Structure 1
């Protein structure tokens, strides 16, 4: 068993290393890996909650679910086309965006999962879609960074009767 002086020196050494960042874990598995977040440019809007970037990535907006508008296996849901058009009005081709990743970076379809902020004004697109009533909350742990903000935005849209909670969709998303 080390002496108390040796234990003290070891503890101090560990503290010094931590303070200097020598023991810090890198955020990514490899420093050589490119950051899949960062900034990008919109090529087109696929539907209300999915966009395609000029670098080829398809991005699924985290925390929300807009009505279906393009899946050939499913009928177009209430406000599906309108939600896609609204997203397209926020993110026309050529729009620069900042992608903010959460814990899981990709879904089972290979899409990048991200919170999207429009540049240069910083509009939080995921949250805006919820606030305007074009999206329901869709929380899939562990990607939960903005769960409370999105929950509040959806509740506000619902209580105000905006979008999905208005007269147009009184029968629900399928109506």
Structure 2
């Protein structure tokens, strides 16, 4: 008899707790679903697929433009991105616009506390690309380009690319 008298109040308190937790009125005890992204496939220097929160996303790096497929330095940029991301937990940082016009997720991507977007430009394998309103780290990326130019890294060893990736896309339309 005593068991029945204490069971109902305990269930009632548990139910109230669950309702408050589900409504966001109480902090979750356990961390949210895994916020670490994992590389699935590199598409080119500035875009790739990851698994993130149980889904596969195509990510486009914010603030950078890497050489296009069959353009000079495209393989080096792709390989740099692959080596940077492979086998590591990636942290995605979002800016104001979460997606581009193609539906890709726009992000700054970090591994071991280092931002890929900035590292790619610093290595001389991508150029800054400012697309408003996603400009949170534009100055930081611009500084990385100045450093790459001065140190003559990547394509800056020969004075830059023959064509920017944007010029390449315009002169080599996809069929």
Check the 8 A contact 2:148/2:156 in 1, yes or no: yes
Query: What does 1:64-143 align with in structure 2 at a 5 Å threshold?
Result: 64-69=64-69, 76-92=70-86, 94-118=87-111, 121-143=112-134
Q: What is the SS of the residue equivalent to 1:109?
A: coil
- In structure 1, the partner of 2:63 is 63
Cα distance in 2, alignment partners of residues 109 and 170 from structure 1: 26
**Bigger fraction of residues in helix:** 2
- Across the aligned residues of Structure 1 and Structure 2, the Cα RMSD in angstroms comes to 2.3
Instruction: Find the partner of 1:47 among 44, 48, 51.
Output: 44
Distance 1:63 1:158 in 2: 17
Distance 2:139 2:152 in 1: 20
Write the distance in 2 (CA, Å) between the matches of 1:53 and 1:170: 29
1:39 is paired with a residue whose SS is coil
> Normalised by the size of structure 1, how large is the TM-score?
0.69
Q: Which moved more, 1:129-138 or 1:156-165?
A: 156-165
Distance in 2 separating the partners of 1:167 and 1:104: 35
TM-score (norm 2): 0.69
